[in-house]
Structure 1
Amino acid sequence: MNLKSGLMKILKTGPCTSVQDLGRSNLSHWGIPISGVADQKSAGWVNHLLQNRKESAVLEISQPGLSLSFSDPTIICIAGASALVKLNGKETHPSGLIYPESGDVLDIGPFYTGARVYLGIKGGFQSEERLSSKSWYQGITSLEYAKKGTELPYFAVPSPFFPFYAKAKWNTSWFEKTELEVFPGPDWDLLSKQEKNLILTHRFTVSSLANRMAVQLQDLVPNSLPELPTNPVYPGTIQLTSGGKLLLLMKDAQVTGGYPRILQIEEESQWILAQKKPGDQLEFSLKRP
């Protein structure tokens, strides 16, 4: 059966809107970051409700002010940060499935809680695939971020729909907590007892220096760590600079780094971190492998 292709057109967007899937694995030895959705739980939710494959590409939206249109009927789902969502100018409940028709316009306004909204579409976005992933990354895909006029292909869903009127409730309380579970990193034991205690008892504040590469915390941790050779790093690695800055690496992080790797964030806590905004509070809870 031949499926009709539709186009979702970006009419307006803030910075850092991108297509992401589960990313690129087993390529770090070539210097290629993993990339992929920063909050896998939210992206997984929309693909689950749409009955998509778990690796289906979604739209990751990191700033309010997105407006887009649909050329053909489809089904979408929204999760992640709680936000104001309107379809054709009328506020719509973002939980559950939404059924845009040809020419409909969807707007995502202010975020109430959280930092990233995920928009999934029936069948996933059919954008270019590079190195076994549709995740956008500069130098690998033709686009790094969406801009006005960007068009994203999808498979149209023939109308009329047979909609499900039940609304699956999306709960944001899981990412509103401040605690991140962490494991000791390779260089944890280079810290003094006092330095370790400070890191595990202090409540840190997320700075404005936060993106898909790393989140930097405002509070400094004075330390006497030695300089180290460059070593492998991964999403979730926490590095401590000689100046006391804590760098929490995200999905687009480099694959090597020279700063001491003091902690590694547990996977589900990485998804919580992805929903933190500048000014939000964080604290670390140490787990042993």
Structure 2
Amino acid sequence: MPSIKVHKPGLCTSIQDIGRIGYQQFGIPVSGAMDEFAFTVANYLVERDKKNAVLEIQFLGPSLEFDFDVTIAITGADIQPKINHQDVKMWQSIQVKKGDLLSFGSLKNGIRTYLAFSAEIDVPIVMGSKSTLLKSKLGGLEGRALKTGDVISFKNVKVLSKKHSLDEKYIPEYSHHQDIRIVLGPQDYYFEESAIKTMLKNTYQVTKDADRMGMRLAGEAIKHKGKADIISDAAVFGSIQVPGNGQPIILLADRQTTGGYTKIATVIKADLPKLAQMLPNDTLKFNLVNIEEAQKEYKEFYARLEEIKDSFVEKLKVYTEQEMYVMKKLFGNRRKLNNF
């Protein structure tokens, strides 16, 4: 069976897909890729859909040996990927041969890198997903991050004959300061107007207490009118909780399904990939938008991904037409070729 062997696991490399949808009512977090943009583009580059599982690599990359030919794509944070110790470019499809060694250097920007394959990672589907939920030891490869000596099996391998690369205009920049857009609620009425102004005018720093579950921030305290606790209610990716100390916590992919702290605001969908690539000590500033603008940005986020996907399809179409033209010139039997 086609497989890759893990020589070095990296700091935290896990199998992730789009997430475990439809089980929050049972207390099961969605999980899935932290940076949906980089994750989705990686799959499009290898002609897979966004449900295809990938490796999410955090901070320090693994060393992987391939025992089969396959096409890969590497997106997200730049950890200086190399094949057989030679640098390779990100945000494009790359042909890998049997015996090749994929490794990574030091982190240049961002924090999470995505490695997609023109094949399916062959691990069990748990509640509709292959995503690894590390804290619950659920999904992925035995519910954990990769370790030295692991062998990851694949199925439905397809080596691409065409090369894809993402137009530079779509490639995001990962900076150490981000402007993060939010909408207020659902419990903004637990705060004085002055507290909301405090949140909006001040800069907050990402602390070392940041993982796939949540991101603790440090900065000017956001004061409640009264108590910080509420009866637990639903939490989403991007919910901004404010506990009693006034220091906000942004809930992320592996968040709990409900929370008992007041949620002053929610990060809009389009800016979640920015959060996914922020390092400890990075800073952010919250910018308030209304629900209509948030919905507009939501639609544009997915429209951009569809535009990217369509650009690869169009390139394939043009290439095929050119190929057919050459074939007709060479062989001359236009009727036979048209009927082929």
**TM-score, with normalisation over the residues of structure 1?**
0.92
Tell me the alpha carbon deviations over residues 140-170 of structure 1, each in whole angstroms, 9 at most, x when there is no partner: 22222111122222237577x7453x64345
Q: 2:257 aligns with which of 234, 251, 255?
A: 255
Tell me the alpha carbon deviations over residues 101-121 of structure 1, each in whole angstroms, 9 at most, x when there is no partner: 111110022121111000000
Unaligned runs of 5+ in 2: 292-340
Larger radius of gyration: 2
CA contact (8 A) 2:209 2:216 kept: yes
CA contact (8 A) 1:9 1:150 kept: yes
What is the identity, as a one-letter code, of the residue corresponding to 1:55? K
Runs of 4+ in 1 over 4 A off after TM superposition: 156-159, 169-172
For 2:120 and 2:82, how far apart are their aligned partners in 1?
Answer: 21
The range that moved more, 182-191 or 245-254, is 182-191
CA contact (8 A) 2:11 2:61 kept: no
CA contact (8 A) 1:122 1:155 kept: no
Q: CA deviation at 1:179?
A: 1.0
1:239 is matched with: 241
For 1:196 and 1:15, how far apart are their aligned partners in 2?
Answer: 37
User: Percentage identity across aligned positions?
Assistant: 27
1:168 aligns with 2:170: no
1:140 is matched with: 138
Q: CA deviation at 1:172?
A: 4.4
The range that moved more, 220-229 or 242-251, is 220-229
Secondary structure of 1:271's counterpart equals helix
2:274 is matched with: 272
Tell me the alpha carbon deviations over residues 47-69 of structure 1, each in whole angstroms, 9 at most, x when there is no partner: 11111022100100012141111
1:197 is matched with: 197
Secondary structure of 1:234's counterpart equals coil
Q: CA RMSD of the aligned region, Å?
A: 1.9
Q: CA deviation at 1:276?
A: 0.5
**TM-score, with normalisation over the residues of structure 2?**
0.79
CA shift in 2, pair 1:175/1:185, >3 Å = farther
For 2:280 and 2:189, how far apart are their aligned partners in 1?
Answer: 30
Query: Which is bigger in relative contact order (C-alpha 8 A, separation at least 6)?
Result: 1
Secondary structure of 1:60's counterpart equals strand
1:114 aligns with 2:119: no
CA contact (8 A) 1:72 1:156 kept: no
CA shift in 2, pair 1:158/1:16, >3 Å = closer
Q: CA deviation at 1:206?
A: 0.8
CA contact (8 A) 2:13 2:145 kept: yes
Q: 1:1-289 residue pairs with structure 2 within 5 A? A: 5-137=1-133, 138-141=136-139, 142-155=142-155, 157=157, 162-164=161-163, 167-169=165-167, 172-176=171-175, 178-224=178-224, 225-226=226-227, 227-289=229-291
Secondary structure of 2:108's counterpart equals strand
For 1:150 and 1:185, how far apart are their aligned partners in 2?
Answer: 44
What is the identity, as a one-letter code, of the residue corresponding to 2:219? D
What is the identity, as a one-letter code, of the residue corresponding to 2:100? D
- Count residues in correspondence: 283
The range that moved more, 86-95 or 234-243, is 86-95
> Which is richer in helix?
2
